[in-house]
Amino acid sequence: MLKSDRTFFLRPQDMIGIAVLAFLLIVILPLTLDNFRLQFVGKYLTYAFVALGLVLCWGYAGILSLGQGVFFGLGGYCMAMFLKLESSSVEATKIQTTPGIPDFMDWNQITELPYMWQPFNSLTLTLIAVILVPALFAFIVGFAMFKRRVGGVYFAIITQALAAIMTILIIGQQGYTGGINGITDLRTLNGWDIRTDSAKTILYFVCVALLIACILIAYFVKSSKLGRILVAMRDKEDRVRFSGYDVANFKVFVFCLAASLSAIGGAMFTLQVGFMSPSFVGIVPSIEMVIYAAVGGRLSILGAIYGTLLVNWAKTSFSESFPELWLFGLGGLFIAVVLIFPNGIAGLWQTYIAPRLGPLFGGTAARRASPPATPPAPPPSGSAAPAAAE
Amino acid sequence: MFADYSLAELGSIFVMQGFAGLILFSVFVLMALGLAIIFGQMGVINMAHGEFMILGAYVTYFTSQFFLNYLPGLFGAYFFLAMILAFFAAGALGMAVEWLMIRRLYKRPLDTLLATWGLSLILQQLYRSVFGPREVGVELPSWMMGSISVTDTIEVQINGLFVMGLTIVITVAVALLMYKSAWGKQVRAVVQNRVMAGAVGIDTEKVDRYTFGLGCGIAGVAGSAFTMIGSTGPTSGQLYIVDTFLVVVFGGAQSLLGTIASAFTISQAQSTMEFFLSGSMAKVLTLLGVVIILMLRPQGLFVIKVRR
Amino acid sequence: MSSQNDQSNKFSTTRRKLLMGIAALPAVPLLASAGLFSTPAMAQAPATSAVNTTGLAVTDTEVTVGILHSVTGTMAISETGSVQAEKLAIDQINAMGGVLGRKIKFIQEDGASDWPTFAEKAKKLLVNDKVAAIMGCWTSASRKAVLPVVEQYNGMLYYPTFYEGLEQSKNVIYTGQEATQQILAGLDWVAKTKNGKTFYLIGSDYIWPRTSMKIARKHIEGHLKDSSVVGEEYFPLGHTQFNSVINKIKLKKPDVIYAAVVGGSNVAFYKQLKAAGIDLNKQTLLTISVTEDEIDGIGGENIAGAYSSMKYFQSLDNPNNKEFVAAFKKMWGEKTVIGDVTQAAYLGPWLWKMTVEKAGSFDIDKIAAASAGIEFNKAPEGYVKIHDNHHLWSKARIGLALPDGQFKVVYETPDLIEPDPFPKGYQ
């Protein structure tokens, strides 16, 4: 089913777009920014994974999740648990009542490592968990809801409630999760000190590499038949259903994929920032992550990356120079992106800039980013003419 | 846990606990009613609902300050005026927002969510810049504080009674307006079939604007009433938003009766669990229960069948 | 300004000249002895190369420190007072001639109520701005985020909030109370004077209330006679419905309600307590989370009669505090209130100044080593002293909340209480 009917899943203009982004992230930014600012970009890029997932799940499949912070957090916590265990060796924690367990557990009278934490002694299991735990959680949530045809607004609000529940749970179960302080003071990854500047630079490049890999996956999904079914589903769900497809399965798949992407971002966040806390799980960060995708253009894979970078850069520089005005700016951005340019930066690019550039950029970019012009899904081969759903 | 108490004591505790549940029920209904109108009747998700409530709370605060300084003799009665002012202030802001923003988005319900979230950020910062970042203490007339002793052990909170009374009045008023008045008929007509309603001469834009204004106005009254039980600060509105949405969604968005039933269910569940379990766990279990039931019965408790 | 400043001015000028003399003695004895007898205005500061060997932002005339609090976001409400206090202290120190002859310049950064932002800004202050010290952080979460940064880049953090303890660092001076200082004396007092035997513990659900309640429970059950805990409850941050727990309290009829509810929940809790007919003048309530700042939002009439366990109250009756309150109001307006944390934040720049002068250097390692034993006579809360574990020796006080939003101090411990961030037998 995933087999594309094209010879290659990237069109030339997509390759140019990815190359430009890669050049920007790998060459231009590291050369022009000092270490300190580059680490900021590294942190922003971890949010870009979430935005990427949202483009697939919201832009293409029409499923708006207001709980992506949950998955970001799950990925981040998985990674943080591993790093915390590594920094809680028996020697490093010998002043504790029970040496060898994380400090916050000791403060909460926990005397042995909980079962939940055991797998995170192994890096391999941790890396698997980073991807699988959020995907599994997304599967449970998605399967239950999409099979019962919960969608749209209801799905958004339920995922929002999940974000609230998750935050309360993490804060409340502080013996197992570190509570509101989160899991802090992470030092080494398999003996490699992740706090030094050189380590952070390496992690930045790892993050960029992973991001580009994820972008390729996103393009692959988008251009595959699956991607076109998703779009068809978003626009006329009943027709797709009557054509014999099990709509729910596609939705569950894309929701799980978005969850895993977010989780990778979360894990990279933990590595680069050096801690994880419930403040990235709740309702507010989850909605902010939606705006990254919206600003970039909810239908544009590359737009999501630029949107994330732009919003975060604006946030940092605004809050440095006019802290009072930042919320006005962010709030205005939400409204403007909805009212004035619903297709975000990608839409602006396509309307105003691309036509002035050469045919390679112009014509192609226009097709890439124009949402209403998304070609209607061709009738799935072999199936009968779509039944009239109305 | 109950071994050491006499039957009479236990009885009175259960009475009081039931009363606590009823207060929570009233609070939920009051919070959710405005949202139920906006969400249920118009399909708009108003994430700034909490901020409209806090506008009502600030209006109450300033009314109380005004009475304290200029009309101290009438201070006992200021709260009624404050609620009316809160209704009109929040309602007017709501209509302005509808005109500037919401009316362009009726075809894109998910986008109203983002736009109103942006609005809530702007309102929060506006409150912070204008009224200051600190919470303000709203002084209440003395007759509204304290409790009436029914027996030696049963005490009834006056502000609880007040909230319950207010909830009944507003619910009845909304029900009459929606189901008995000509205007209510127009609103329901627009909900069921916008094009047809327009065709028979209903000014659908005007109906939308007033409906939105009504929902926001009720939020303002709720905010005004909540100065009795909660805090008033730039970000206080955020405390209510998740509960409110769950009540509305759980009830089945389009039915006022559903909203009331769901408020009753959730409030009783929460208040009973809070009594028997610790606070945090009760909250998690309530939310989780609601989410699971919603997964099993996504359309909510009550639905009106509408041809789409 | 006032006599306080004149006095300490004299004190510190002499001291500075002495220090300067000592510092310069080996190099140019003649100049140094001349310096000893020169007037303050002409006093020459010790050479920058001598007092700053690690490349901090210290010039011949200026030294830079960082202020790192939330100016935006949900924590801005609480942290504003700390920023104001730190700026006041820096102003006053500069008016007296600064530190080692150098004026203090500050760079203020906004943590925006966001913990990674705190960590980033701390790093910026240390790496880019090379500040000699950071006055900052408020919540435990922000401190936990900043701690690895100040340890890695070897900075000095002055942290003002009363907190849960369980932490100690060479690079942090904790100017607020740790949990045992705040809790134990208060419990002893309430057990003795209010004859409290049964306690109901209620708090917001996060690390500080939970740790504090754990210590309180151990103390009640292990150290107070015939006392017991009859209930312990935690509510999510931002919870606004307390009627059920109030009913439980009525059922259990505890002698003392012991509360650590914070933020918006605080307001809801006290309003609903009052509405439920629990008269705090009859029902003893002791809180560790309400300062004058919080009462602003709760409303004095709603909490009048409650007791609060802190180390500082604005109404404290001593000359230091009178001057401090007057100076604070002069700078920030008549209507501002001063809570416990605000006062603790005010101590930060002063303690740092005195440590620098004792060490005769801005070097972090020397300051960290010289901190223990620093005494500050002019603290608004009275005499304080830095312990070897970098917390403060301080007194615990109980205040009775009055309807006008102030506290009446009803008890203070006779002696300074030793800070004990890792209390044995309480973990």
Q: Which of B28, B108, B214 is nearest to A153 (CA)?
A: B108
Does residue C386 have a pLDDT over 70?
yes
Burial label for C3, CB within 10 Å (0-12, 13-18, 19+), is exposed
Among candidates B147, B230, B279 on the partner chain, residue whose Cβ is nearest the Cβ of C267: B230
Does residue A168 belong to the interface with chain C, where contact is any CB pair within 8 Å? yes
Burial label for A134, CB within 10 Å (0-12, 13-18, 19+), is buried
- With cut-offs at 50, 70 and 90, classify the pLDDT of residue A379: very low
Buried b (16+ CB within 10 A) or exposed e, C366-403: bbbebbeebebebbbbbebbbbebbbbbbbbbbbbbbe
Q: What percent of chain C clears pLDDT 90, i.e. is strictly above it?
A: 62
Instruction: Decide if A212 contacts C169 (C-beta within 8 A).
Output: no
Supply the pLDDT for residue B4.
Answer: 62
Rounded to the nearest 5 degrees, what angle is found at the Cα of A375, between the Cα atoms of A373 and A376? 115
Q: Which residue in this structure is represented by tokens 């989850």?
A: A286
Q: What percent of chain B clears pLDDT 90, i.e. is strictly above it?
A: 31
Any domain includes B221: yes
Any domain includes B273: no
Q: What CA–CA distances, in Å, run from A7 to A11, A18, A363?
A: 10, 19, 21
> pLDDT tens across B177-227, in order?
988 999 989 988 888 888 888 899 899 889 999 999 999 999 999 999 988
DSSP β-ladder status, A188-189 and A192-193: antiparallel
Instruction: Decide if B22 contacts B163 (C-beta within 8 A).
Output: no
Taking an 8 Å cut-off on Cβ atoms, the answer to whether C115 and A323 are in contact is no
CA separation for the pair A38, A25 (Å, rounded): 10
Q: What CA–CA distances, in Å, run from A381 to A8, A229, A373, C106, C364?
A: 20, 12, 21, 70, 73
Q: What CA–CA distances, in Å, run from A118 to A85, A125, A173, A178, B43?
A: 9, 10, 17, 16, 47
Does residue C114 belong to the interface with chain A, where contact is any CB pair within 8 Å? yes
Taking an 8 Å cut-off on Cβ atoms, the answer to whether A331 and B298 are in contact is no
Beta strands in B64-103 (DSSP E): none
Q: Which of C54, C75, C70, C76 is nearest to C109 (CA)?
A: C70
Taking an 8 Å cut-off on Cβ atoms, the answer to whether A154 and B290 are in contact is no
Rounded to the nearest 5 degrees, what angle is found at the Cα of A355, between the Cα atoms of A349 and A360? 95
Quickly count: other Cβ atoms within 10 Å of residue C249's Cβ: 22
CA separation for the pair C76, A327 (Å, rounded): 13
Beta strands in C79-207 (DSSP E): 103-110, 134-136, 157-159, 172-174, 198-204
Taking an 8 Å cut-off on Cβ atoms, the answer to whether A154 and B249 are in contact is yes
Q: Name the strand (E) or helix (H) holding B155.
A: strand B155-157
Give the rounded distance of the alpha carbon of B268 from its chain centre: 17
Any domain includes B268: no
The DSSP code sequence of A32-85 is: HS-HHHHHHHHHHHHHHHHHHHHIIIIIIT----S-HHHHHHHHHHHHHHHHHH
Does residue B249 belong to the interface with chain A, where contact is any CB pair within 8 Å? yes
> pLDDT tens across A150-159, in order?
777 888 888 9
Does residue B237 belong to the interface with chain C, where contact is any CB pair within 8 Å? no
Q: What DSSP designation does C236 have?
A: -
Does residue C25 have a pLDDT over 70?
no
The answer for residues whose C-beta is within 8 angstroms of residue B142's C-beta and 6 or more apart is B76
Nearest residue in chain C measured CA to CA from B153: C250
Size of interface B-C (CB pairs under 8 A): 124
**Residue C418 token pair:** 């030793």
Does residue C238 belong to the interface with chain A, where contact is any CB pair within 8 Å? no
Supply the pLDDT for residue C28.
Answer: 39
Q: Which of residues 183-222 of C touch A (CB under 8 A)?
A: 205-207, 210-211
End-to-end CA distance of chain B, in Å?
53
Contact list, C112 vs chain A (CB under 8 Å): 319, 323, 326
Give the rounded distance of the alpha carbon of C89 from its chain centre: 13
Torsion of the alpha carbons at C317, C164, C216 and C291, rounded to the nearest 10: 30
Q: What DSSP designation does B143 have?
A: G
Q: What percent of chain A clears pLDDT 90, i.e. is strictly above it?
A: 40
Percent composition of chain A: helix, strand, coil (DSSP 3-state, to 5): 70, 0, 25
Supply the pLDDT for residue C365.
Answer: 95
Instruction: Decide if A100 contacts A87 (C-beta within 8 A).
Output: no
CA separation for the pair A225, A244 (Å, rounded): 15
Any domain includes B269: no
- With cut-offs at 50, 70 and 90, classify the pLDDT of residue A75: very high
More confident residue, A46 or A330: A46
Give the rounded distance of the alpha carbon of C151 from its chain centre: 21
Backbone region of residue A114 per phi and psi (left: phi > 0; alpha: psi in -120 to 50; beta: other values): beta
- With cut-offs at 50, 70 and 90, classify the pLDDT of residue C427: low
Mean predicted confidence (pLDDT) in A202-231: 92
In 3-state terms, what secondary structure has residue B142? helix
Taking an 8 Å cut-off on Cβ atoms, the answer to whether B125 and A331 are in contact is yes
CA separation for the pair B228, C240 (Å, rounded): 11
Taking an 8 Å cut-off on Cβ atoms, the answer to whether C207 and A273 are in contact is no
**Residue A11 token pair:** 């069109």
Supply the pLDDT for residue C425.
Answer: 78
Contact list, A323 vs chain C (CB under 8 Å): 71-72, 110, 112
> pLDDT tens across A224-270, in order?
888 888 888 888 888 888 888 888 899 999 999 999 999 999 999 99
Among candidates C112, C115, C147 on the partner chain, residue whose Cβ is nearest the Cβ of A185: C147
Instruction: Decide if C72 contacts C110 (C-beta within 8 A).
Output: yes
CA separation for the pair B58, A344 (Å, rounded): 36
Does residue C107 have a pLDDT over 50?
yes
Q: Which residue in this structure is represented by tokens 């049963």?
A: B154
Quickly count: other Cβ atoms within 10 Å of residue B283's Cβ: 25
φ, ψ (nearest 5 deg) of residue C240: -125, 5
> pLDDT tens across C396-420, in order?
999 999 999 999 999 999 999 999 9
The answer for residues whose C-beta is within 8 angstroms of residue B274's C-beta and 6 or more apart is B282, B283, C241, C244, C245
Nearest residue in chain B measured CA to CA from A342: B111
φ, ψ (nearest 5 deg) of residue B157: -70, 130
For chain B, how many structural domains are there in total?
1
Beta strands in B35-101 (DSSP E): none
> pLDDT tens across B26-70, in order?
989 998 999 888 887 888 889 999 999 999 999 999 999 999 899
Enumerate the domain spans of chain A.
12-340
The DSSP code sequence of A219-255 is: HHHHHSHHHHHHHHHHH-HHHHHHTT--HHHHHHHHH
Taking an 8 Å cut-off on Cβ atoms, the answer to whether B231 and C246 are in contact is no
Contact list, A103 vs chain C (CB under 8 Å): 166
Supply the pLDDT for residue B255.
Answer: 74
**C-alpha count within 13 angstroms, C-beta hemisphere, residue A53:** 34
CA separation for the pair C121, C118 (Å, rounded): 5
Mean predicted confidence (pLDDT) in C173-201: 93
CA separation for the pair C384, B10 (Å, rounded): 51
Backbone region of residue B163 per phi and psi (left: phi > 0; alpha: psi in -120 to 50; beta: other values): alpha
CA separation for the pair A4, B192 (Å, rounded): 43
Any domain includes B242: no
Supply the pLDDT for residue A359.
Answer: 57
Instruction: Decide if B267 contacts B21 (C-beta within 8 A).
Output: yes
Any domain includes B257: no
Mean predicted confidence (pLDDT) in A323-328: 77
Domains and CATH numbers, chain C: 3-176+318-393 (3.40.50.2300), 179-310+397-412 (3.40.50.2300)
Q: Which residue in this structure is represented by tokens 């934490």?
A: A117
Q: Name the strand (E) or helix (H) holding C233.
A: strand C228-235
**Residue B287 token pair:** 């939310």
Give the rounded distance of the alpha carbon of A345 from its chain centre: 18
Q: Which chains touch B (3 or more CB pairs under 8 A)?
A: A, C
**What average pLDDT is seen over chain A?**
84
Supply the pLDDT for residue B2.
Answer: 58
CA separation for the pair C253, B272 (Å, rounded): 19
Domain span at residue B52?
A: 28-237
Does residue A259 belong to the interface with chain C, where contact is any CB pair within 8 Å? no
Q: Which of A315, A316, A270, A179 is nearest to C141 (CA)?
A: A179
- At C152, the amino acid letter reads Q
Does residue A345 have a pLDDT over 90?
no
